Amino acid sequence: MNLGIKNKTALVTGSSRGIGKSCAISLSKEGANVVICGRDKKTLTESLSELKNINENTKGIVCDITDENGLSNVVSEINDKLGNIDILVNNVGGSVKKEGIEGTDISDMNKAFDLNLTPTIKLMQLVIPNMKSQRWGRIINISSVYGRELGGNLSYMTAKAALNSITKHSAIDLAKHGILINAVAPGPVSHPGGSWEKFQNQNSSEVVQNFIDENLPIGKFGWPEPIGDLVTFLASENSGFLTGTCINVDGGWSRSIN
């Protein structure tokens, strides 16, 4: 299937490992010129080497995507090297404090929002003008099933729910300009260095199997590749009638119908 994104320029944040790296690999296989970024130079260099075997035009930028002041420079550098960003995948996020309402200070809530929302909003604001001028763009925000249903801690759940709202509002606002914006909500996806790998390593096999039996009808933890492939479809020409939605990739974890 030709997804129509060969030579499109794509930025994937938090892409030196895990879900972000899988998104970058899948996009590269479809011929997109991908820019990956991460804070750890060693990990980024290793991932960049792997991706260049797929597409030699892949670029890597060592940066802290949560540094709002540096994001303009990142986008300018990409524009200079590869051209305007056609596809943006916002994958940076995470938990700050694993507490409920009584144990979550306002400062902790603000930190969670700064991590999960600030770079996403800023990058969207930076790439949208060029997308509007060319009347084509794709933005995919990596959310979580915990942004749609009860689960996780208060600050993370709230931040991801806010991300889903930003996705919906922006998608409706910009659809007339040929910009499609969607979110993907992973469930328990295991990858090296990720929280679900840590969960499996830190608990007995009985605890882990009990979690799977109670929460994952598919019978196992997820893996990054299906998310990367879905993101690539959403970034493609083939997704032309799909915007403002959030798609679960969770092995049947979620229980709601809507």
CATH 3.40.50.720 domain locations along the chain = 9-187+225-248
106, burial (CB in 10 Å: exposed 0-12, middle 13-18, buried 19+): exposed
Q: Are 55 and 106 in contact (CB under 8 A)?
A: no
Q: Going by DSSP bridges, is the β-strand pair 246-249/59-62 parallel, antiparallel, or unpaired?
A: unpaired
Residues in Cβ contact with 61 at an 8 Å cutoff, skipping those fewer than 6 apart: 35, 36, 37, 74, 77, 78
Question: Rounded to an integer, what distance in angstroms lies between the CA atom of residue 244 and that of residue 46?
Answer: 34
Per the prediction, the chain carries an average pLDDT of 93
- Judged against a pLDDT cut of 90, whether residue 189 lies above it is answered with yes
Question: Rounded to an integer, what distance in angstroms lies between the CA atom of residue 75 and that of residue 71?
Answer: 6
Place 195 in a pLDDT band, splitting at 50, 70 and 90.
confident
| Each residue's pLDDT tens digit, 143-153 | 999 999 988 89
For residue 253, which phi and psi values (nearest 5 degrees)?
Answer: -60, -45
pLDDT for the residue 81: 82
Residues in Cβ contact with 33 at an 8 Å cutoff, skipping those fewer than 6 apart: 7, 8, 9, 10, 55, 57, 58, 59, 82
- Judged against a pLDDT cut of 90, whether residue 70 lies above it is answered with no
Instruction: Between 257 and 196, name the one with better pLDDT.
Output: 196
Q: Are 119 and 161 in contact (CB under 8 A)?
A: no
Catalytically active residues are: 156
Q: Which among 164, 113, 97, 118 is positioned nearest to 13, based on CA atoms?
A: 118
| Each residue's pLDDT tens digit, 42-57 | 999 999 999 999 999 9
> Is pTM, for the whole model, over 0.85?
yes
Question: Rounded to an integer, what distance in angstroms lies between the CA atom of residue 254 and that of residue 258?
Answer: 10
Place 258 in a pLDDT band, splitting at 50, 70 and 90.
low
CATH code for the part of the protein at 9-187+225-248 = 3.40.50.720
Question: Rounded to an integer, what distance in angstroms lies between the CA atom of residue 125 and that of residue 246?
Answer: 20
b/e 198-231 (16+ beta carbons within 10 angstroms → b)? eebeeeeeeebeebbeebbeeeebbebebbbbbb
Question: Rounded to an integer, what distance in angstroms lies between the CA atom of residue 252 and that of residue 258?
Answer: 13
Q: Coil, strand, or helix at residue 247?
A: strand
- Judged against a pLDDT cut of 90, whether residue 68 lies above it is answered with no
Q: Are 218 and 237 in contact (CB under 8 A)?
A: no
- Judged against a pLDDT cut of 90, whether residue 31 lies above it is answered with yes
How many CB atoms lie under 10 A from the CB of residue 28? 25
Average pLDDT over residues 197-211: 91
| Each residue's pLDDT tens digit, 75-125 | 999 998 889 999 999 999 888 878 899 999 999 999 999 999 999 999 999
Give the whole-number percent of the chain exceeding pLDDT 70: 100
Residues in Cβ contact with 46 at an 8 Å cutoff, skipping those fewer than 6 apart: 16
